[in-house]
Amino acid sequence: MESPTVREHSGERLFIGGAWVSGENFLPVIDKFTGRPLTSVPTADEELVEMAVRSAEAGFAAMKVLPALKRSEILEKISGALREAADEFAAGIIAEAGKPAKFARQEVERSIQTFKFAAEEAKRLHGETVPLDAQGGSEKKFGFYHRFPIGVVAAITPFNFPLNLAAHKLAPALAAGCSVILKPSSLTPLTALKLAKLVEASGAPAGAFNVLVGSGGTVGDWLVSHPNVAMVTFTGSAEVGKQIREKAGLKKTLLELGNNSAAIVDETADLDWAAQRCAAGAFAYSGQVCISLQRIYVEKSAAKPFTEKLVALAKNLKVGDPKLGTTDIGPLISEPDARRVEDWINEAKAAGMELKCGGRRKEAFYEPTVLFGDPSGCRIGTEELFGPAVTVTPYEKFEQAVEAVNSTPYGLQAAIFTRNLNRAFAAFRELEVGGVIINDSPSYRADFMPYGGVKESGSGREGVRFAIEEMTYLKMAALHLSE
Ligand code: NAP
């Protein structure tokens, strides 16, 4: 194989086959608050993608024969190294993603745990015996199955959680015995390259983890259509998810896509708690979270007090420099995105929704916004906003609220706030989503729980154990006993 170091030189580099490699072209990475360049990163051409696939094949050959204990130790080391470098990672996420410090630190803490959970799960991969003698003609057969790693995994990630979403693909893949080629978002590639340094020091075989930077339309596309990639695990928008599904052919795909999350608040709910959690769910990281709360349906009798509490909380949020520990709302990822949010909110106002607070943009910043009324004919009511705004809509009957929650093409997570156990269970049964959160915001996620969507929110499940299942296949053995 060609040495992966041939194009090596100083500055940021790509990580291929355990070596740091440069490229011909470079991409500037911008500090999303100051707008100044942080550095530039080489982008991969087709030759480097080819090199990464060959390295990942070698990495897979080494990974698949590593004992579970060794795979677990590698993951423990990555988790420990991440803890030691937590401040540096948080600072990087604040700069390249514009994520306020409190949320950037949370993301690093969660990622440490994601690797830790994977270190534990690596020891639990197992199969079952199958009583083949139950079938006539198979009386002398004994059966069992076991899980085997699927092979080279291409992981494509979005800008909003540059560390933990990479961790949700890399950690289960290493636990399963797969190798990974990660293509992070071009907006936030630095965290992924920093993570590669920890993997390099962890004792993972060369080629077990590779990081390529470049646009989705080129590097992403080459990876998705490469015949030697066994699986594509993608987190991002539904639009790109559909393109990937079309290009991937018969490869396995795991798609974690967008949402238009909703919560139901009935009159029995603790309204102070509900308002507090809804504010957190709607405005954290300026709503740039796939399970960010976008629509709230409140039982008519509770709508006025609930809205007053929510508006008071929204008005209290501090907009400003994401580096400051006190900042709640930083910039959106780009000014065009803030303009899009502005357009959608203007559309909702023109359709008759009442602006309760917020509603103003300054450059890439958008104020936390609450709209009151019926959003059903507007984009904010049906599509994914990815911005700091939420709608509040009164309802008369619980069934109407359920129907409204289910009325969008998405189905990732939804929530209900209630003290009525039967209603909570009815919501669990009737809501068409991958997760129902009871008495907390739909943006709640623990990193080991099964997580993923239905409808246009995707297919397959992440959450360490569940992602390992996706990245392994069951192999059956049938043994003929001659005596
Ligand atoms: P995006 O535009 O869909 O991009 C996601 C990734 O896909 C990026 O790395 C992008 O590369 C790449 N990509 C773009 N076109 C591609 C193609 N044709 N083939 C292969 N890869 C391609 O999403 P985003 O704006 O970064 O992130 C926001 C979206 O992610 C939202 O919809 C959000 O709901 C979703 N999300 C979902 C979850 C979940 O777990 N369900 C979690 C977080 C975010 P470049 O951008 O570098 O070109």
Which residues lie with the beta carbon below 6 Å from any ligand 1 atom? 156-161, 165, 183, 185-186, 215-217, 220-221, 224, 235-237, 240, 243-244, 256-259, 290, 384, 386, 412, 458
DSSP H helices in 122-220: 164-176, 190-200
* Residue-wise pLDDT tens digits, 257-290: 999 999 999 999 999 999 999 999 999 999 999 9
- The average pLDDT across 466-476 equals 98
Q: Is 378 a catalytic residue?
A: no
Spatial strand order of the sheet with 141-149 comes to: 128-130, 141-149, 472-480
Burial of 137 (0-12, 13-18, 19+ CB in 10 A): exposed
Angle subtended at Cα 97 by Cα 96 and Cα 103, rounded to the nearest 5 degrees: 125
d(CA 72, CA 125): 11
Residue 7 clears pLDDT 70, i.e. is over it: no
Distance 384 CA to ligand 1 centre (A): 13
Coil, strand or helix at 202 = coil
Given ligand 1 and candidates 110, 185, 221, which is best to mutate, with the most ligand atoms within 8 Å of its CB? 185
User: What's the pLDDT score for residue 241?
Assistant: 98
Residue with tokens 């308002």: 275
Alpha carbon distance 10, 242 (integer Å): 38
Nearest CA to ligand 1 atom 24: 158
Say how many Å lie between the CA of residue 105 and the centre of ligand 1: 22
Nearest protein CA to atom 20 of ligand 1, as residue: 220
Q: How far is the CA of 409 from the centre of ligand 1 (A)?
A: 18
Distance CA 317, CA 440 (A): 19
DSSP symbol at 122: G
Look at residue 468 and give its three-state secondary structure.
helix
Q: Residue 327: pLDDT above 80?
A: yes
pLDDT at 9: 43
CA angle 375, 378, 379 (to 5 degrees): 115
Mean pLDDT taken over the chain? 97
Q: Whose CA is nearest to atom 26 of ligand 1?
A: 158
- What mean pLDDT do residues 202-227 have? 98
Q: Which atom of ligand 1 is nearest to the CA of 452?
A: 41
Angstrom CA distances, 350 to 155, 297, 343, 344, 367, stand at: 41, 21, 10, 10, 19
pLDDT at 4 over 80: no
Task: Choose between 9 and 14: higher pLDDT.
Answer: 14
Nearest Cα to 152, choosing from 226, 79, 101? 226
pTM > 0.85: yes
Q: Where are the domains of the chain?
A: 14-257+458-475, 261-446
Among 12, 256, 456, 470, the one annotated catalytic: 256
d(CA 99, CA 101): 6
pLDDT at 483: 82
Nearest atom, ligand 1, residue 386 CA:
31
Percent of the chain with pLDDT over 90: 98
- Give the pairing type, strands 458-459 and 141-149: unpaired
Listed in sequence order, the residues at least 6 apart from 219 whose beta carbon sits closer than 8 Å to its beta carbon are 43, 44, 49, 183, 212, 213
- Residue whose CA is closest, atom 30 of ligand 1? 236
92: nearest Cα among 195, 10, 167: 195
Q: Please give the average per-residue pLDDT across 219-237, as a whole number.
A: 98
Whether domain 261-446 has CATH 3.10.290.10: the reply is no
Beta carbons of 242 and 166 less than 8 angstroms apart: no
Distance of alpha carbon 11 from alpha carbon 42, whole angstroms: 9
> According to the CATH classification, is domain 14-257+458-475 in 3.90.320.10?
no
**Whether 178 is catalytic:** no
Catalytic residue among 96, 107, 178, 290: 290
